Structure 1
Amino acid sequence: MGDFDAFEREAWSGRAAAYARSFGMLCAHTVPELLDAAGVGAGVRVLDVGTGPGAAAAEAVRRGAEVAAVDAEPSMVERAARAVPAAEVRLGVLPGLPYEDGEFDAVVANFVVNHVGRPAAALADLRRLAGPGGRVAVTIWPAPRSPGQALLGRALEAAGVSRPPSIPALAAEDDFARTEEGLAGLLTAAGLAGARCATLRWNHVVDPEVWWSGPAAGVASIGQILQSLPPHDVEEVRRHYDLLSAEFRTPDGSLSLPHTALLGWALAG
């Protein structure tokens, strides 16, 4: 396991509940489009990779699919298994998931490719599991980030906090452009055919305390940065977060955060 993957395992360890009540609600927004792109409906055998709290698995079950789900984090597996008892939920890490070649008609991964150290190898594993003619669909966050997603990072920057060197980046040879073209190219490089990509846009309406609660609990890279800071610096980040949040506030005090995601889909060869 490389430094990037080891960091990801540590960053998500034991944080299923914190993720589900914060960023998990945001990520669930793309589930219908993701399943549509993979052709998930009644009788389809589908694998939800990186299931998290089980949002995509639950929707796939609702559609009448035969659902399996997998996640690299034990607390996510436990939570998804409780939330979606009709799905078979396992522990597994990309690449090299514990399933047979061509076991599924469709494989989906909602905001997973951006959390693995070898994205092309991860997608090749999804292609393996889908088998000939199977569909693979994934979502990622684009770059540059949308205004809503950038809010927390802007608060860190305004407080004078920079990304610490202890948080690894992808190796140059494994990185790719977070654009429609970049994601489609990555799908093609993984051996998938007819790759297509679309941009999804929506406003995520959320209580400001809920939005803060994710990083405050150490969720994702930004949460790991926040938890590494002394209390005074955390207070300073929070002060700037409150100030910057004003531009997104609605009359009832919620935040309306513009978000953008990339949806890519293709066929296994």
Structure 2
Amino acid sequence: MTAFDKSERLMWAGKGSAYAGSFARLCAHPVSRLLDAAEVGPGTRVLDVGTGPGAVAAVACARGASVTAVDAEPSMVELAERAAPAADVRVAALPELPFDDGEFDAVVANFVLNHVGRPRMALAELRRVAKPNGRIALTIWAAPRAPGQTLIGRAVEAAGAVRPPGLPAGLAPEDDFPRDEDGLAGLMEAAELREATCATLRWDHRATADEWWSGPASGVAFVGQLVQSQTASVRTEIKRHFDLLSSEFAGQDGVLSLPHAALLAVARR
């Protein structure tokens, strides 16, 4: 386990409910297209890696698939068990999954690869547990980030927040890859996956300002850890700038419309 992986475990510890109430709806947006890409339907043996609160697992179960789901964080597993009671939900994490070679018809990972320290090794593990010719489908956030994704970061920067030394600096250069269509498809090919294709998904996520702020205010994800690590006065300044900047995205009903962009890639073992 890399230092990045260890920091991710600590960052998400106990954050299941806070994530479910803030960013989970956003991350559930591509679920149907992800499952379509993996050709998940009745009887498909599918593994949902990094299930979080279980959005992918629940939809896969509704399609009649035989679903196994895993997450590294126990508080997420508890939520996923409630969301998808027909699924076999376990605590497990990349890059070592407790399954036999070729056990699944399809393997999906929704916004998971951006939370592992060695993406190529993680993809190799996804490939291992897929059957020959089985499909592996995944999503990650695209770069450059869309305006809705930068809102909170802009507020943090405007408030003069200082990054504490304990937060991870990111992946080692040899483990990183371009977060664009060619970069993700190339990473899948490097993991010996076949027929890799990648497309960019764009949508406007609608959320109230309170919902959107609740994630960082509760310490969810990297930006939440960054916000929580600041002094009380700086946190107040971050919230003030967030309120000001949010007006750029507010409609007449006051709800924010936040542009986002993600990559959806699929390949075969």
Verify same fold: TM over 0.5: yes
Q: What secondary structure is seen at the aligned counterpart in 2 of 1:101? A: coil
Aligned to 1:54: 54
Q: What secondary structure is seen at the aligned counterpart in 2 of 1:229? A: coil
Q: Can you give the 5+ residue segments of structure 2 that lack an aligned partner in the other structure? A: none
In the TM superposition, what is the alpha-carbon distance from 1:167 to its structure 2 partner?
1.8
Aligned to 1:118: 118
* Amino acid aligned to 2:150: A
Q: What value does the CA root-mean-square deviation take over the aligned residues?
A: 0.8
Q: For 1:1-269, what aligned pairs fall within 5 Å after superposition? A: 1-168=1-168, 169-268=170-269
Q: TM-score, normalised by structure 1?
A: 0.98
* Amino acid aligned to 1:38: A
* Amino acid aligned to 1:30: P
Q: Distance in 2 between matches of 1:92 and 1:145?
A: 29
Q: Distance in 2 between matches of 1:162 and 1:5?
A: 22
For residues 228 and 130 of structure 1, do their structure 2 counterparts lie closer, same or farther at Cα, with a shift above 3 Å needed?
Answer: same
In the TM superposition, what is the alpha-carbon distance from 1:144 to its structure 2 partner?
1.0
In the TM superposition, what is the alpha-carbon distance from 1:131 to its structure 2 partner?
2.1
In the TM superposition, what is the alpha-carbon distance from 1:164 to its structure 2 partner?
3.2
Q: Distance in 2 between matches of 1:163 and 1:148?
A: 21
Q: Please list the CA deviations of residues 29-51 of structure 1 after superposition, one character each: whole Å capped at 9, or x if unmatched.
A: 01011001100011110000000
Q: Distance in 2 between matches of 1:73 and 1:119?
A: 19
Q: What secondary structure is seen at the aligned counterpart in 1 of 2:85? A: coil
* Amino acid aligned to 1:100: D
Q: What secondary structure is seen at the aligned counterpart in 1 of 2:30? A: helix
In the TM superposition, what is the alpha-carbon distance from 1:93 to its structure 2 partner?
1.2
User: Is the 2:162–2:230 Cα contact (8 Å) retained in structure 1?
Assistant: no
* Amino acid aligned to 1:58: A
Aligned residues: 268
Q: Distance in 2 between matches of 1:36 and 1:155?
A: 36
* Amino acid aligned to 1:37: A
Q: TM-score, normalised by structure 2?
A: 0.98
Q: Distance in 2 between matches of 1:195 and 1:104?
A: 18
Q: Distance in 1 between matches of 2:217 and 2:3?
A: 23
Q: What secondary structure is seen at the aligned counterpart in 1 of 2:70? A: strand
Q: Distance in 1 between matches of 2:25 and 2:155?
A: 21
Q: What secondary structure is seen at the aligned counterpart in 2 of 1:174? A: coil
Q: Distance in 1 between matches of 2:2 and 2:126?
A: 20
Q: Can you give the 5+ residue segments of structure 1 that lack an aligned partner in the other structure? A: none
* Amino acid aligned to 1:186: L
In the TM superposition, what is the alpha-carbon distance from 1:225 to its structure 2 partner?
0.4
* Amino acid aligned to 1:177: P
In the TM superposition, what is the alpha-carbon distance from 1:160 to its structure 2 partner?
1.1
User: Is the 2:106–2:134 Cα contact (8 Å) retained in structure 1?
Assistant: yes
In the TM superposition, what is the alpha-carbon distance from 1:17 to its structure 2 partner?
0.4
Q: What secondary structure is seen at the aligned counterpart in 2 of 1:29? A: coil
Q: What secondary structure is seen at the aligned counterpart in 1 of 2:161? A: coil
Q: Distance in 2 between matches of 1:162 and 1:202?
A: 31
